[in-house]
Amino acid sequence: MISAAHAHTAGEAAASLTGEWLLPSLLAAAGIWYAIGYARLRRASAAGRAAHRRRAMLFGAGWIAIALSLLSPLHERGLQSFTAHMIEHELLMLVAAPLFALSQPLGVLLWAFSPGTRAALGSVAHRRWYAECWSRLSAPLAATVLQAAMLWLWHVPALFERALAREGWHVAQHLCLLLSATLFWWAIDRASRRGGRHGVAGMLLFITALQSGLLGALMAFAGSPWYAQYVALGSAGALADPLADQQIAGLIMWIPGGTVHAAAALLYMSRWFREPSRTTRDSGNAGEPVRPRISSGSPRNS
C-alpha cells in the first residue's frame, strides 16, 4: 500500500512538473518557429521588407504579452487570486490576440518549413473541403460566436476549477481563449480591410463588448463566490476575501475589457461613416454634364 501510494504521489508530481513546463515550452517553440520563418522569408524576398518587419514587431509584442502573462509571478498568483487570473486572461485576449491577428503570421510560419512541405501544405490549403471549412470557421459571425462560447464555457465553475487543479487543463483553457480570440480579431480586421465591411466589424465588436460585459457584471454582482477552490484558499494571495476578489475580477472583465472592444468598434464604425456610399458616388457621377458625341460623318438632310 505504501509503495502504491508513493508511486501515485510521484506520478502526480511528475505530471505537475511536466504541466508547469508545457506553457513555457509551447511559447518558446512558437517564438523559434516564427523566427526561423521570418529569417528565411527575409533572405528569399527583398520586396515588402518594411511590411514584414512591421508584422514581425507586432508578433514580437504579442509574444512578449503572453510571456508577461504566463511566465511572470502573475501566473502563479492566478492560482490563488481570481483577480490575477482575470488579468492573465485579459492580457491573452485583449493584448496578445489582436497583436497576433494584425501580424498575420501564417505566411511567415509556413516559411519555417522546407520547400517540399510548404508546397504540400499549400496544396492542402487549395483543396475545396479545406477552403470551405476555413471560410465558414473564419467568417466574422462564426468567429464571434466561437470566441463568446470559449469565454463563457471556460468560466463555468466545473471547467474553471478543473483548470485550476490540473495544469494540462490550465494549458487547454489558455490555448482555447488565445486561439479563439486571435481568430476573432483576424476575422474582424479581414472583413474590414478586404471586404470593406467596416459596419459589420463594428457591430460584432459591440456585441462582443456586451456579452463579455454581461459575464463580468454577473461576477461583479454575484452574492457568493462561484469557485470553491478560491473559497478554500480564503484571502491567501488574493487582494481581498473570495467574494470581493471575484467582484474585482468581474469589474476588470466588464469595464476595461468592454472598453477595449467598444473603442475598436468605434474605430471600425468611423471608417464606415467616412466611406462614401455607392449611392452617393453614383449620384456624384450623375451630376456631371453629359458631353455630346460628335459624328465624323456629314449631317443628314431632313
Tell me the mean pLDDT in the region 14-32. 72
Query: CA dist 148 to 60, 190, 205, 279, Å?
Result: 26, 19, 11, 35
For residue 266 the three cell numbers come to: 468605434
Mapped onto helix, strand or coil, the DSSP state of residue 136 is helix
Phi, psi of 223 (to 5 degrees): -85, -10
Q: Is the dihedral of CA 14, 17, 23, 27 positive or negative?
A: negative
More confident: 71 or 139:
139
Kindly report the number of other CB atoms within 10 A of residue 299's CB atom: 6
User: Rounded mean pLDDT of 166-183?
Assistant: 92
DSSP character string of 151-176: HHHTTSHHHHHHHHH-HHHHHHHHHH
| Res 20 pLDDT > 80 | no
- Phi and psi, residue 217, nearest 5°: -65, -40
**In one letter, which amino acid is 122?**
G
**pLDDT tens digits along 49-86:** 788 899 999 999 999 999 988 888 888 888 888 999 99
pLDDT of amino acid 277: 56
Asked whether the predicted pLDDT for residue 158 surpasses 50, the reply is: yes
